[in-house]
Amino acid sequence: MIMKYIIPDDRKIRIAISGRSGCGNTTVSKLLAETLGIEMINFTFRSLAAETGLSLAEIIEKAKTDDSFDKAVDTRQVEMASKVSCVLGSRLAIWMLKEADLKVYLYADDDVRAERIFKREGGSLDEIKSFTKMRDTQDSARYKALYDIDNGNYSFCDLIIDTAKYTPDQIVDQIIAKLKESGLVRLG
């Protein structure tokens, strides 16, 4: 039986979900949005490339020396999220979407994350571990420089979930339980 959820009083709800690469952000965000019947917002460099006519490779290369690409993506996500009930799933969602009704941080240890990326993308597990560690370090430095965000501090979140312990469906169930407890959704 498929559950139908209702957002009370025709209000908008915004759920921000963040975590590092391989934590299941995209999977959980999509599943949650589908379950609630609301939009998932995931505006990325790939989206920006499609809008500007540049290739993804060109955007990534330009973003190395031009902060405006990161800022354009981050600003657009927040603008989109302010207009509709949604799940905003991104590395910075919990920090950037200040008015989020629920902030969720997903984490997993480095080995679990590397294993997931390996299953998704293939390659060498050792290279993935090395690349992921380097990417985490670069991302943290970039977020600090761009926005003065310490992405290692997520203690303010409403839910902090170790994704190694649960399936995506179980994680969505935990988020929905918190939404129901907060009066943000109810069964219809």
Neighbours of 9 (CB within 10 A): 6
Per-residue pLDDT at 2 exceeds 70: no
Pair 162, 19: CB distance under 8 Å:
no
Per-residue pLDDT at 63: 86
Per-residue pLDDT at 1: 57
Per-residue pLDDT at 139: 87
Mean pLDDT for 44-71 is: 88
Tens of pLDDT, residue by residue over 96-129, are 999 999 999 999 999 999 999 899 888 889 999 9
Residue 184 — φ and ψ, nearest 5°? -85, -25
Neighbours of 74 (CB within 10 A): 21
Tens of pLDDT, residue by residue over 60-79, are 888 888 999 999 999 999 99
Tens of pLDDT, residue by residue over 14-23, are 999 999 989 9
Per-residue pLDDT at 53 exceeds 90: yes
The proportion of the chain whose per-residue pLDDT surpasses 70, expressed as a percent, equals 99
Strands of the chain (E only): list them.
5-6, 14-18, 39-41, 86-89, 102-107, 159-162, 186-187
Nearest to 106 by CA among 118, 120, 89, 121: 89
Per-residue pLDDT at 32: 97
Nearest to 86 by CA among 75, 96, 97: 97
